[in-house]
Amino acid sequence: MTLARAHTNIALIKYWGKRDAALILPYTSSISLTLADFYTDTAVTFDPALDADAFTLDGTVRPTTMVTPFLDLVRARAGRHAFARVTSVNHVPTAAGLASSASAYAALALAASRAAGLRLSPRELSQLARRGSGSASRSIFGGLAIWHRGTDDATSFAEPLPAPNLKLAMVVVLVSAAAKTRSSRSLMANTVATSPYYPAWVAHNQAAVEEMLAAIDAADFAAIGHLTEQSAMQMHAAIMAGDPAFTYFEPETLVAWQAVQALREAGVPAYATMDAGPNVKVLTVQDAVPQVLAALEPQFAGRLLTTTPGPAATILED
């Protein structure tokens, strides 16, 4: 049995759309921040006595379709045939736009490969995790990471970025912990296929990757925050323009965005972002967290979570 832990990540420059759905190759590169306080613990045991894979998530037996195709990749690579018992615990709301799939498949990649006798490099683990969920490629690493879009399986992987001396922090505004009404996977495909804005988003987002790398290298928080907010808004604009039209925004989502904009106008370094769900993440610096919390608590008391950059995926027990 191998037990691994991987942390969620939030994309600052977004990934949205696959040009190869089987290999999960994205249209654009992306840059993310791994978070300390949201993670998944996954244990994997390959057991010759099993006659099928078994999967438990948060104490509930779940369909093995969520893990068996991924385990098949590991079995093929390791030359093993035994079925596996997978037990996962999410320390993050599942399917609520807080990147639980990223931490889940990164933890599964590390635990399953190690349990199968493989000793993969971080790059190889990133490539493997990508096959479960694209964003999982980045959760292999701590802090800031870039996922290179690449051109094939071998060239699409994530790697860590040097951390600027900014003492980054993130405040999560939990608008809703309910499961999403539309999965990221289905809506992503719909956006690529039907949104007239999608080609423009790809061009702008790929250019923003290079701008973000320069901003990180210069430790320019204002530029990092601006690019983060722009990437999120442009992605959601492309989503909204799909057919049929759809948005993850809820009324309180806009309340949170407006509060962040007001903070910034008052001189507080704070920028909003969001993924496939209504929850808003506020990128800020650690010294400004008290001001961000004070501005948001009247509307979101009891629904604010604060976190900082988190570590790389790791083995807890082997």
For 211-268, the pLDDT digits (tens) are 999 999 999 999 999 999 999 999 999 999 999 999 999 999 999 999 999 999 999 9
Percent of the chain with pLDDT over 70: 98
266 by Cβ neighbours in 10 Å (0-12 / 13-18 / 19+) ranks as exposed
Query: Is the Cα dihedral 11, 17, 23, 25 positive or negative?
Result: negative
Q: Cα separation of 191 and 91, whole Å?
A: 30
Q: Please, what is the angle between helix 184-194 and helix 221-240, to 10°?
A: 80
How confident is the model over 7-17, as a mean pLDDT? Answer: 96
Q: Assess whether pLDDT exceeds 60 at residue 94.
A: no
Helices (H), the chain: 68-78, 100-115, 122-130, 136-139, 184-194, 198-217, 221-240, 251-265, 289-300
What local confidence, expressed as pLDDT, does residue 184 receive? 84
Query: What's the mean per-residue pLDDT of the chain?
Result: 95
Question: What pLDDT, on a 0 to 100 scale, did the predictor assign at position 179?
Answer: 74
Rounded percentage of the chain residues whose pLDDT exceeds 90: 92
Residue 7 has pLDDT above 60, yes or no: yes
Q: Which pair of tokens denotes residue 178?
A: 């309910």
Query: What span, in angstroms and rounded, lies between the C-alpha atoms of 206 and 202?
Result: 6
pLDDT, tens digit, 9 for 90 and up, residues 261-301: 999 999 999 999 999 889 999 999 999 999 999 999 999 99
When pLDDT is cut at 50, 70 and 90, the band that residue 177 belongs to is confident
pTM of the full structure: 0.95
Confidence grade of residue 92 (pLDDT, cut at 50, 70, 90): confident
| Helix, strand, coil tally for the chain in percent (to 5) | 40, 25, 35
Residues 30/13, Cβ–Cβ less than 8 Å: yes
Give tens-digit pLDDT for 31-89. 999 999 999 999 999 999 999 999 999 999 999 999 999 999 999 999 999 999 999 99
Separation between Cα atoms, residue 181 and residue 190, nearest integer Å: 14
For residues 6-26, average pLDDT? 96
The pLDDT of residue 160 is 98
Q: Give 100's pLDDT tier (boundaries 50, 70, 90).
A: confident
Q: What is residue 254's predicted lDDT score, i.e. its pLDDT?
A: 97
Please state whether the peptide bond connecting residue 269 to the residue before it is cis, i.e. omega within 30 degrees of 0.
no
**Residue 301 CB coordination number (10 Å):** 8
pLDDT category at 93 given cuts 50, 70, 90 is low
The answer on pLDDT for 20 being more than 60 is yes
The amino acid at residue 222 is: A
Q: How confident is the model at residue 136 (pLDDT cuts 50, 70, 90)?
A: very high
